[in-house]
Amino acid sequence: MSEAAESSTHPAYGRLRAVTETASVLLADNPGWLTLEGTNTWVLRGPRSDELVIIDPGPDDDEHIARVAALGRIALVLISHRHSDHTDGIDKLVDLTGATVRSAGSGFLRGLGGELIDGEVIDAAGLKIKVMATPGHTADSMSFVLEDAVLTADTVLGRGTTVIDNEDGNLADYLESLRRLGGLGRRTVLPGHGPDLADLEAVVSEYLTHRQQRLDQVCAALAELGDDATARQIVEHVYTDVDEKLWDAAEWSVQAQLDYLRR
Ligand SMILES: [Zn+2]
């Protein structure tokens, strides 16, 4: 766990920070070992637009949601995926603004926008936003492609590695999603947690290398421990370089790798 994840006094809390010409970020005050400094609520606005598109309201935090609502007229709210640190603030934001909310599943739809469709181009707040299904972290994970940047949510983080959710995550889907994102080339990464990164293509290549190393380690562990070794036994064997606090998450991740290898 980083020091920032334990502190509630991160200098970015409560301040809208411009990252690209069209994207700014408002950091929610919900630090943790999965959320890093907190959830990034992204605020998009085209050059001559007086409207906004919000990506992920963030947690159910009165101050955070009030700040988002006060930024200006919201044309649309888009949801990256179902996790509560990205979605719990939806109803408070809708109460304050009446905004329409769109997501991949039906659970978070508010207003008449409808479900997000892979490949769809959304025209809002003076921007063209391409919807890209990037399942793997969760089944419903979406990325949003702008001209010069990609909002990757938890598929590519600003720091550390993505956890494959133990309910509906899937490593094969995740690796395919990374390859598709990498195919977009050199663009700014606007992640769901952690700092923005300059080069999506380079980050994806690092992620794929890291995943392959972990898969190789799991294969080597299976060769030593036997093919029926449990995820926990493998974690204790392989993740000796990782803080024990993260072993539960590592166990999900190893289970995802075992599912992938045993397909
Ligand atoms: Zn998530």
Read off the pLDDT of residues 130-174 as tens digits, 9 standing for 90 and up: 999 999 999 999 999 999 999 999 999 999 888 889 899 999 999
Cα of 167 vs centre of ligand 1, distance in Å, is 12
The answer, yes or no, to whether residue 4 has pLDDT greater than 50, is: no
What does the alpha-carbon distance between residue 134 and residue 248 come to, in Å, rounded to a whole number? 24
Radius of gyration of the chain (CA): 19
Q: Higher pLDDT residue, 27 or 33?
A: 27
Distances in Å between the Cα of 203 and the Cα atoms of 116, 161, 178, 188, 189 are 26, 11, 10, 10, 9
The predicted pLDDT at position 232 comes to 94
Cα of 155 vs centre of ligand 1, distance in Å, is 8
Q: What is the average pLDDT value for the chain, to the nearest integer?
A: 93
Cα of 228 vs centre of ligand 1, distance in Å, is 30
Residue 185: other Cβ atoms inside 10 A:
10
Provide the whole-model pTM: 0.91
Q: For the residues 163-190, what does the mean pLDDT come to? A: 95
9 falls in which pLDDT band (50, 70, 90)? Answer: low
Cα of 223 vs centre of ligand 1, distance in Å, is 32
Cα of 74 vs centre of ligand 1, distance in Å, is 23
Cα of 189 vs centre of ligand 1, distance in Å, is 16
8 falls in which pLDDT band (50, 70, 90)? Answer: low
Worst-scoring range by mean pLDDT, 46-55, 199-208, 241-250?
Answer: 241-250
* Closest alpha carbon to 52 in 93, 13, 12, 86: 93
Cα of 123 vs centre of ligand 1, distance in Å, is 26
Find out whether 113 and 76 touch, Cβ atoms under 8 Å: yes
The answer, yes or no, to whether residue 7 has pLDDT greater than 50, is: no
- SS3 letters for 34-98? CCECCCEEEEECCCCCCEEEEECCCCCCHHHHHHHHCCCEEEEEECCCCCHHHHCCHHHHHHHHC
Cα of 220 vs centre of ligand 1, distance in Å, is 29
* Phi, psi (deg, nearest 5) at residue 218: -65, -40
Cα of 229 vs centre of ligand 1, distance in Å, is 28
Cα of 25 vs centre of ligand 1, distance in Å, is 17
Cα of 83 vs centre of ligand 1, distance in Å, is 5
- Residue pLDDT, tens place only, 43-52: 999 999 999 9
21 falls in which pLDDT band (50, 70, 90)? Answer: very high
Find out whether 86 and 192 touch, Cβ atoms under 8 Å: yes
| 227 CB burial (10 A radius; 0-12, 13-18, 19+) | exposed
| 200 CB burial (10 A radius; 0-12, 13-18, 19+) | buried
Worst-scoring range by mean pLDDT, 98-102, 109-113, 158-162?
Answer: 158-162
Cα of 132 vs centre of ligand 1, distance in Å, is 16
Cα of 39 vs centre of ligand 1, distance in Å, is 9
Find out whether 65 and 89 touch, Cβ atoms under 8 Å: yes
